[in-house]
Amino acid sequence: MTRAQLAASTGLARSTVAARVDVLMRLGLVTPYGDARSTGGRPPSLLAVNPAARVVLGVDLGATHARAAIADLSGELLAEERADLEIAEGPDVVLAWVETVAHRLLEQAQRPITDLAAIGVGLPGPVEHSTGRAINPPIMPGWDRYDVPAHVQQAFPVPVLIDNDVNIMALGEQHAQFPTARDLVFIKASTGIGAGIIAGGELQRGAQGTAGDVGHIRVGRPSDALCRCGNIGCLEAVAAGPAIARALQAAGKPVRDTADLVRQVRAGDVDAIQAVRQAGRDLGDVLAMVVNFINPSVVVVGGALASTGEHFVAGIREVVYQRSLPLATEHLRIVTSVTGERSGVLGAAAMAIGHVLSPEAIEQASLELTS
Amino acid sequence: MTRAQLAASTGLARSTVAARVDVLMRLGLVTPYGDARSTGGRPPSLLAVNPAARVVLGVDLGATHARAAIADLSGELLAEERADLEIAEGPDVVLAWVETVAHRLLEQAQRPITDLAAIGVGLPGPVEHSTGRAINPPIMPGWDRYDVPAHVQQAFPVPVLIDNDVNIMALGEQHAQFPTARDLVFIKASTGIGAGIIAGGELQRGAQGTAGDVGHIRVGRPSDALCRCGNIGCLEAVAAGPAIARALQAAGKPVRDTADLVRQVRAGDVDAIQAVRQAGRDLGDVLAMVVNFINPSVVVVGGALASTGEHFVAGIREVVYQRSLPLATEHLRIVTSVTGERSGVLGAAAMAIGHVLSPEAIEQASLELTS
């Protein structure tokens, strides 16, 4: 766009647009782009966002894996690395891995460390986003209330944003697949079941940061399955991987764990397929409520159970379309994750990019320019 | 605050703060306020928001009543009027009432029409907020897709914002009772059951504007109650006023309608009290899911059933504290509406105020100043 087009489309004064464009150009975030068609006199300059101006680091830390990537400001991954790494090794070991890999990825992407503008990190447990600390995380010994940003900033003095894994996966799916969706729910169904909620274009964390905790909502069909939370009939107690595996075991079927269950479904085992489809229906029962309540345009289903193919999602759709209001499902898409194992790292990068391009960060950067 | 304090607390440059304060003072939205303590030299000016600068009109149109009020920019009501008015009379009759009453209220508040900055209107049906039109409203003959803002703007050439009644009631409760709550759910339980959702500080309408439609979520206990939506066991089919009245009638108890039910509960009728308490439990079953999902800090219960006293809310609390996650309920407040019949008109005014004080509206007003 030209400055005049920006003024017309934003309603801002031309002098305001000129001043703001000047700041963005000095920060390298906006660059001239060819020439607009002249309307007589000097041709007005076309401007474009410059995604190559800076890079961010996205880090996805799971229970037993770690993934990191350098991305440009459009979210495109420039270099990426994955490792088997136990989060239970504790912050010193895991964050040392992050630091080493970050330097290696910057080198691969041929970008100096001064190009790094921010870092986003996903952790496999409850996180206090405002302080970047995990709070009472069940599977993360040594991480409780550990100051992750302060540790990372010793090596990289840039803003560091932390969130839980399901929230960053929701961001990753939105950025990579549904950039115009303002209301999106991401469901991770694996050894546990959790949701990331984007409503009104913003990730919603709730008053205590527990928003999206759908694993302990009671399913519709009568169930006396005891849940680790102490209640009975929770979604996680009937439809997560371990619950399905236990039910198959009880019926005399040898299924070791969630990964084994996924293998058996993919191999075409009828009992395993039926069990996963029923788990889809149970999840659908909860999602029908979610769809009525928050009215998303997209529900993305990810996690190990989503990788079993269409059986799981078919069960979900069956119940959601039966139980949700027609107006809420008229344009609703229920899809499996396309980014798969990359959704976390894409979302962590997206969280960092969102910060770099925020009005507050740009105002701060422009102050640093002039001082 | 002084300009220096504003610069320190926002991180904006002092020149930026000075320029923005200048605009706000020229618009009358900010005024000098006494003098700050001197730190040597000329004392810096203290500034304060000036709620008297402009006024807004809030209008709450229900099925059989209408209420309108003039409020200042702090949301304080300066003049108010209520009438029995059927929404089914159609837009010409109802909006003529709004126009007449608006002039009368401005006169009572001793404010010229040029002081009116915006109008907020709540309608008792589904609304497309972006266009200000009711869409297929079941109890509003003549209103389907009617352009309410265009009609109102013939008399008052200011921005006109429209939303459904439950959404504006949620805004009204937030502004009047919980101004710091960023995650609040308002439940209206009366002849129907609906919710207004404030998440991350913003009213959430969802992709199709149906967010908060909790009346057709299935309750936990087995029920074969047929709902008008075609499903069975919906919350509205077991816990709304008419459903409770029908159940009492079936048990040989003469209860005419929701108003009669409320009277009997207040008169201490044990059967009516038990029925309302069970309805509270059924609503609690759905709210337990809502609390896990969106993690609000406050749930406000309003509508006719909430006016039966503590019996209804006691049933809600009983189930929510049993079924929701401890972390999500640790600081949760479940309260009955304090603003009562005024929540709609307070929220309609708050919606208008939110627009008047938005950066976009202030930018627009400042452009009009300079042109």
A16: which residues sit within 8 A by CB, 6+ positions away? A7
Please name the member of A13, A218, A325 whose beta carbon is closest to the beta carbon of B229. A325
Assigned domain for B285 exists: yes
Cβ contact B30:B48 at 8 Å: yes
Q: A215 with A354, same domain?
A: no
Assigned domain for B170 exists: no
For residue B238, CA distances in Å to A288, B63, B219 come to 18, 22, 8
Total domain count, chain B: 3
Would the CB atoms of A217 and B293 count as touching at under 8 Å? Answer: yes
- Distance between CA A240 and CA A250 in Å, rounded? 16
A202: chain B residues, CB-CB within 8 Å: 200, 202
Q: B143 with B220, same domain?
A: no
Q: B213 with B312, same domain?
A: yes
* Residues A238-279: tens digit of each pLDDT: 999 999 999 999 999 999 999 999 999 999 999 999 999 999
Query: How close is the nearest chain A Cα to the Cα of B167, in Å?
Result: 13
* Residues B221-256: tens digit of each pLDDT: 888 899 988 889 999 999 999 999 999 999 999 999
The model's confidence at residue A356, banded by pLDDT at 50, 70 and 90, is very high
Say how far residue B100 (Cα) sits from the centre of its chain: 23
Phi and psi, residue A59, nearest 5°: -130, 130
Weakest mean pLDDT among A3-17, B162-176, B288-302: A3-17
The model's confidence at residue B35, banded by pLDDT at 50, 70 and 90, is low
Residue by residue, DSSP assigns A15-43 as HHHHHHHHHHHHTTSEEEEEEPPPSSSSP
Phi and psi, residue A321, nearest 5°: -75, -20
Please name the member of A204, A288, A322 whose beta carbon is closest to the beta carbon of B200. A204
Q: Mean per-residue pLDDT for A340-364?
A: 93
Q: A235 with A301, same domain?
A: yes
A222: chain B residues, CB-CB within 8 Å: 222
Would the CB atoms of B217 and A328 count as touching at under 8 Å? Answer: no
| Residue in chain B nearest A292 by alpha carbon | B213
Assigned domain for A165 exists: no
The model's confidence at residue A166, banded by pLDDT at 50, 70 and 90, is very high
- Distance between CA A57 and CA B52 in Å, rounded? 49
- pLDDT at position B228 is 87
ipTM of the complex: 0.90
Would the CB atoms of B207 and A288 count as touching at under 8 Å? Answer: no
Q: A146 with A273, same domain?
A: no
Q: B110 with B62, same domain?
A: yes
- pLDDT at position B368 is 81
Query: Alpha-carbon Rg of chain B, whole angstroms?
Result: 23
Q: A83 with A137, same domain?
A: yes
Give yes or no for residue A236 having a pLDDT over 80.
Answer: yes
| Residue in chain A nearest B13 by alpha carbon | A367
The model's confidence at residue A45, banded by pLDDT at 50, 70 and 90, is confident
- Distance between CA A351 and CA A334 in Å, rounded? 24
- pLDDT at position A42 is 58
Would the CB atoms of B293 and A195 count as touching at under 8 Å? Answer: yes
- Distance between CA B153 and CA B142 in Å, rounded? 19
| Residue in chain B nearest A333 by alpha carbon | B207
Q: B185 with B154, same domain?
A: no
The model's confidence at residue B41, banded by pLDDT at 50, 70 and 90, is low
- pLDDT at position A370 is 74
Q: B94 with B59, same domain?
A: yes
Name the nearest CA neighbour of B203 among B194, B212, B214. B212
Q: A195 with A306, same domain?
A: yes
Assigned domain for A171 exists: no
- Distance between CA B141 and CA B154 in Å, rounded? 22
- pLDDT at position A327 is 84
A327: chain B residues, CB-CB within 8 Å: 126, 208, 210
Q: B130 with B209, same domain?
A: no
Would the CB atoms of B216 and A294 count as touching at under 8 Å? Answer: no
Q: What stretches of A85-179 adopt beta strand conformation (E)? A: 116-123, 127-128, 133-134, 160-164
Pairing of strands A55-61, A116-123: parallel
Residue A169 is encoded by which pair of tokens?
């996966």
**Residue B106 lies in domain:** 55-158+344-370
Please name the member of B212, B295, B323 whose beta carbon is closest to the beta carbon of A206. B295
Assigned domain for A210 exists: yes
- pLDDT at position A37 is 53
Type of residue numbered A278:
Q
A325: chain B residues, CB-CB within 8 Å: 210, 213, 216, 229
The model's confidence at residue B34, banded by pLDDT at 50, 70 and 90, is confident
What pairs with residue B187 in β-bridges?
B195, B301
Cβ contact B139:B190 at 8 Å: no
Query: How close is the nearest chain B Cα to the Cα of A73, in Å?
Result: 24
- pLDDT at position B234 is 93
User: Looking at residue B98, what DSSP letter applies?
Assistant: H
Q: B97 with B227, same domain?
A: no
Assigned domain for B69 exists: yes
Q: At what angle do helices A3-10 and A14-26 cross, to 10 degrees?
A: 120
A367: chain B residues, CB-CB within 8 Å: 11, 13
Q: What stretches of chain A adopt beta strand conformation (E)? A: 30-35, 45-49, 55-61, 65-72, 77-84, 116-123, 127-128, 133-134, 160-164, 184-189, 193-199, 202-204, 298-302, 333-336
Q: Mean per-residue pLDDT for B28-42?
A: 70
A211: chain B residues, CB-CB within 8 Å: 183, 199, 293-295
- Distance between CA A177 and CA A353 in Å, rounded? 16
Please name the member of B12, B289, B325 whose beta carbon is closest to the beta carbon of A289. B289
B289: chain A residues, CB-CB within 8 Å: 217-218, 286, 289, 293
% of chain A beyond a pLDDT of 90: 76
- Distance between CA A45 and CA A38 in Å, rounded? 9
Assigned domain for B174 exists: no
Give yes or no for residue B366 having a pLDDT over 90.
Answer: no
Compare A362 and A178 and report the one with higher pLDDT.
A178
Give yes or no for residue A293 having a pLDDT over 60.
Answer: yes
Give yes or no for residue B39 having a pLDDT over 90.
Answer: no
The CATH number of the domain holding residue B124 is: 3.30.420.40
Compare B158 and A360 and report the one with higher pLDDT.
B158
Assigned domain for B190 exists: yes
Mean pLDDT estimate for chain A: 92
Which H or E run contains B95?
A: helix B91-108
